[in-house]
């Protein structure tokens, strides 16, 4: 019965294709549905990619978590770090020193932030956006060497190997005799800044602070790096239970959680908006089905008189209208998937032949355009469009099944 209704619907479609008006409307309907599905899948994959880049951007310039003492420093911070490193999910932890500083280069002055580092492995993440860079350069950093952001190097017109003067100003660690001391540093390397969070920062080895400041008994903050940063809140609570001291807890999610909430809201809005476009496109399919029914009333009556029941008639016109939605859905999905899988090649092609385009030379285009498609998104889009197609074609099929053959055949 189902195959019979399918073949009759296919024959009905072939007959209508000979009518140019029907054929034009059907083509436009398929194009409208396919374009809506194409835009939907590209938009969702762009949001997924943007979320990945936001994670990479944030996690390349901030500790995943920080624990800070409330009233007094961590006098046994080395033992505390050993306990923290034993907590599941924590890859590494070290003292967190973050100060204010002043860079001096000839007659130029620049205020910036100074951050310590102890493990070079977790400094290399600052270079994650840099395409060509020899990470072997960072295998050893001396006490009198500093790693700067590209924004600072541009402001002061300095490069790798140059020497600069540095004044560190912080109330926590005082100099002997309370005199301001100027330090000379050689620029070991320069990383590309990828946002406000790391555009004004310099990285100095922890051993420098040990040699020049009284920090052994003044460590009051420890930074953590985690295997799964998205679970930072849960992991840092496990750390607090392990330490069992009154501490202040902080994770990178605290300041950036709103970004992920906004991405989820935008994703829902895009889903709703584009699915509404698909529904609107489906109205043209309804009009085609109703026009076909009006032209085929005599044929429907003959089928009813030959013994066709309501279910067969409904299935015929359900298949007939559903074919437009299915074809448009598949075209939109396949074209979107092909574009997403070949987006890098397309970008390279555009960069090669459209060098003068303002869009392609824009920083946002190069650093923050990533298309990432999940299988779950494909399934959701495909099933949702199919459901919309079935619902939109239900009324024409129901209308066709209600035609009374006795009244129609009397006219002939």
146, 150, 162 from 157: Cα distances, Å: 16, 10, 10
For residue 412, name the pLDDT band (cuts at 50, 70, 90): low
Q: How far apart are CA 150 and CA 408, in angstroms?
A: 81
What's the pLDDT score for residue 293?
Answer: 66
Q: To which residue do tokens 């939605």 refer?
A: 325
**Based on the domain organization, do 331 and 401 belong to the same domain?**
yes
- The answer to whether position 219 is within a domain reads no
Q: What is the residue range of 341's domain? A: 2-57+259-410
What share of the chain in percent tops pLDDT 90?
5
The answer to whether 115 and 202 are in contact (CB under 8 A) is yes
- The answer to whether position 172 is within a domain reads yes
- The answer to whether position 73 is within a domain reads yes
**Based on the domain organization, do 84 and 14 belong to the same domain?**
no
**Based on the domain organization, do 87 and 104 belong to the same domain?**
no
For residue 58, name the pLDDT band (cuts at 50, 70, 90): low
pLDDT in tens, 226-265: 888 878 889 999 998 888 778 888 888 877 777 777 777 8
Q: How far apart are CA 112 and CA 200, in angstroms?
A: 5
Q: How far apart are CA 41 and CA 335, in angstroms?
A: 10
**Based on the domain organization, do 52 and 68 belong to the same domain?**
no
- The answer to whether position 220 is within a domain reads no
More confident residue, 405 or 230: 230
What's the pLDDT score for residue 223?
Answer: 92
Q: What global pTM score does this model have?
A: 0.61
Strand arrangement, sheet containing 221-226: 90-95, 221-226, 65-69, 247-251
- The answer to whether position 20 is within a domain reads yes
- Distant-in-sequence, close-in-space partners of 323: CB < 8 Å, separation ≥ 6: 9, 10, 13
* Half-sphere exposure at residue 120, Cβ-oriented, CA atoms within 13 angstroms: 14
pLDDT in tens, 113-170: 888 888 887 777 777 655 555 555 677 788 888 988 888 888 888 888 889 998 887 6
Phi and psi at 145, nearest 5°, equal -120, 150
What's the pLDDT score for residue 90?
Answer: 92
- The answer to whether position 246 is within a domain reads yes
The answer to whether 88 and 221 are in contact (CB under 8 A) is no
**How many domains would you assign to the chain?**
3
> Count of CB atoms within 10 A of residue 355's CB?
9
């Amino acid at each position: 019965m189902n195959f019979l209704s399918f073949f009759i619907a296919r024959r009905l479609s072939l007959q209508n294709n000979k009518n140019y008006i029907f054929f034009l409307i059907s083509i436009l309907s398929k194009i409208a549905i396919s374009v809506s599905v194409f835009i939907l899948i590209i938009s969702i994959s762009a949001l997924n990619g943007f979320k990945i880049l936001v994670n990479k951007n944030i996690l390349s310039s901030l500790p995943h978590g920080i624990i800070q003492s409330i009233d007094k420093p961590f006098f046994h911070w080395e033992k505390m770090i050993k306990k923290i490193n034993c907590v599941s999910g924590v890859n590494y932890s070290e003292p967190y020193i973050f100060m204010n500083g002043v860079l001096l280069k000839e007659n130029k002055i620049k205020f910036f932030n100074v951050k310590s580092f102890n493990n070079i492995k977790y400094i290399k993440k600052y270079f994650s956006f840099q395409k060509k860079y020899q990470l072997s350069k960072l295998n050893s950093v001396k006490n009198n060497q500093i790693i700067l952001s590209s924004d600072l190097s541009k402001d002061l017109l300095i490069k790798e190997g140059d020497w600069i003067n540095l004044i560190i100003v912080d109330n926590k660690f005082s100099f002997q005799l309370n005199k301001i001391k100027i330090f000379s540093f050689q620029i070991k390397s320069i990383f590309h800044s990828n946002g406000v969070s790391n555009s004004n920062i310099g990285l100095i080895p922890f051993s420098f602070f040990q040699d020049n400041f009284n920090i052994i008994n003044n460590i009051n903050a420890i930074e953590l790096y985690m295997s799964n940063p998205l679970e930072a809140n849960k992991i840092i609570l496990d750390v607090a239970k392990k330490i069992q001291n009154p501490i202040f807890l902080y994770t990178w999610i605290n300041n950036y959680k709103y970004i992920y909430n906004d991405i989820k809201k935008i994703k829902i809005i895009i889903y709703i908006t584009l699915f509404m476009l698909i529904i609107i496109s489906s109205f043209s399919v309804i009009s085609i089905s109703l026009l076909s029914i009006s032209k085929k009333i005599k044929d429907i009556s003959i089928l009813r008189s030959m013994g066709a029941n309501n279910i067969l008639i409904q299935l015929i016109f359900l298949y007939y209208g559903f074919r437009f939605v299915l074809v448009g859905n598949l075209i939109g999905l396949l074209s979107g998937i092909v574009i997403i899988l070949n987006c890098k090649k397309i970008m390279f092609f555009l960069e090669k032949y459209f060098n003068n385009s303002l869009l392609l030379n824009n920083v946002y285009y190069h650093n923050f355009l990533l298309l990432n498609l999940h299988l779950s998104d494909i399934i959701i889009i495909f099933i949702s469009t199919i459901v919309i197609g079935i619902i939109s074609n239900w009324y024409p099929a129901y209308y066709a099944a209600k035609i009374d053959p006795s009244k129609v055949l009397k006219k002939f």
